[in-house]
Amino acid sequence: MTTDIKAALRALHIETPSWAYGNSGTRFKVFAQRGVPRDPYEKLADAAQVHAHTGVAPTVALHIPWDKVADYGHLAAHARELGVGIGAINSNVFQDDAYMLGSVTNPDPAVRRKALAHLLECVDIMDATGSATLKLWFSDGTNYPGQDDIRARQDRLAEALAAVYARLGGDQRFLLEYKLFEPAFYTTDVPDWGTAYAHCLRLGPKAQVVVDTGHHAPGVNIEFIVAFLLREGKLGGFDFNSRFYADDDLMVGAADPFQLFRIMYEVARGGGLEAGVAFMLDQCHNIEPKIPGQIRSVMNVQEATAKALLVDRDALAAAQAGGDVLGANAVLMDAYNTDVRPLLAELRQETGLAPDPMAAYAKSGYFEKIAAERIGGTQAGWGA
């Protein structure tokens, strides 16, 4: 049993986002931190530290144009030298002045063409870096009733998605991300999993839904969405983070570790650990140090997954079949209440890693090194 669990935990890969290593904040203030990367190359170096200490974060997601470089093949080769690879390419059609009324759903065809050209450029970057995944998030929507035609915007969205889909190579896919609100406050063009699912279903197998755990209304049962999408073969991946209120982008597993466990249980139950689901982090470390923030997040996902794998499936199935409500619930809670930290420490030691990645990173001297070396230049951040 433990051998299977360990094998599954070894196979679990968590992708860290390049933007988590840059400065971030709220609309009120960005607090700059010492040692923050000045360019995508330095972001990859920081991400490589997370992988070096956890052993389970071998890929890094890029965000374009925040991670724009002259030669993407060179950037990918640099990543490989650092021991990591390029993961999902995230498009950005939400920060250009032209997008005030939307990007691919904008009423102006010229703006729509500009947005689509960016999305296609992201596929070129996938080709150059060897990335197999494009992540699409649209901030498109409206603020006032009557502002634009809700149906026409869906037509424009479908048209853009079809054009991107047609451009994908055989081993490439796109993940469509939904979000309830913000920055649009009245309608959002991809507000929920149902909308994302319907668009992806029409297009075919290379279009899947990505679940950002911070993008739902309070109280929404995310594990149900996960179970449903996985059952339909449409769960492409996660943007993990946690929230107390809205899209807080706090460390995954910090606000509600029990929810993360329930999600990972449905992933494991539905075969999602073997189905090419991308486990990505989408977080900002506004006040905590960034590399340790990522290490802690990776560990939180590992812990939730270990607990999910500990669920005694036979006992659970028997209790469910017998209508034993309390018994079934107890099986799940037993797993959740197990302290899996010793198991994970053992697993790390078996693969030559220190048992405690947080302590190992702190002792490594890496932070002191980057804080001393990265003087001058412009620190990376949103809009970089």
Provide the binding-site residues for ligand RM4, judged by CB under 6 A.
63, 90, 137, 177, 179, 212, 239, 247, 282
Q: How far is the CB of 152 from ligand RM4 (least distance, A)?
A: 24
230 or 281: CB nearest ligand RM4 = 281
Q: Which does 247 bind (CB under 5 to 8 A by kind): Mn ion, ligand RM4, none?
A: ligand RM4
> Can you give the binding site for Mn ion, defined by CB under 5 A?
212, 239, 282
Closer CB to Mn ion, residue 46 or residue 212?
212
Instruction: Say which entry of ligand RM4, Mn ion, none residue 266 contacts (CB below 5 to 8 A, set by partner kind).
Output: none
Q: Which residue, 266 or 282, has its beta carbon nearer to ligand RM4?
A: 282
CB of 179 to ligand RM4, least distance (A): 6
Q: CB-wise, 42 or 282, nearer to Mn ion?
A: 282
Q: Which is nearer to ligand RM4, 9 or 176 (CB)?
A: 176
Pick 72 or 240: Cβ nearer Mn ion: 240
Q: Using CB distances below 5 to 8 A depending on partner kind, what does residue 173 bind out of Mn ion, ligand RM4, none?
A: none
Q: Smallest gap, in angstroms, from Cβ of residue 75 to ligand RM4?
A: 18
HEC string of the chain equals: CHHHHHHHHHHCCEEEEHHHHCECECCCCECCCCCCCCCHHHHHHHHHHHHHHHCCCCEEEEECCCCCCCCHHHHHHHHHHHCCEEEEEECCCCCCHHHHHCCCCCCCHHHHHHHHHHHHHHHHHHHHHCCCEEEEECCCEECCCCCCCHHHHHHHHHHHHHHHHHHCCCCCEEEEECCCCCCCCCEECCCCHHHHHHHHHHHCCCEEEEEECCCCCCCCCHHHHHHHHHHCCCEEEEEECECCCCCCCECCCCCCHHHHHHHHHHHHHCCCCCCCCEEEECCCCCCCCHHHHHHHHHHHHHHHHHHHHHCCHHHHHHHHHCCCHHHHHHHHHHHHCCCCHHHHHHHHHHCCCCCCHHHHHHHHCHHHHHHHHCCCCCCCECCC
Closest-by-Cβ residue to ligand RM4 is: 137
Q: How far is the CB of 90 from ligand RM4 (least distance, A)?
A: 5
Least Å from the CB of residue 177 to Mn ion: 6
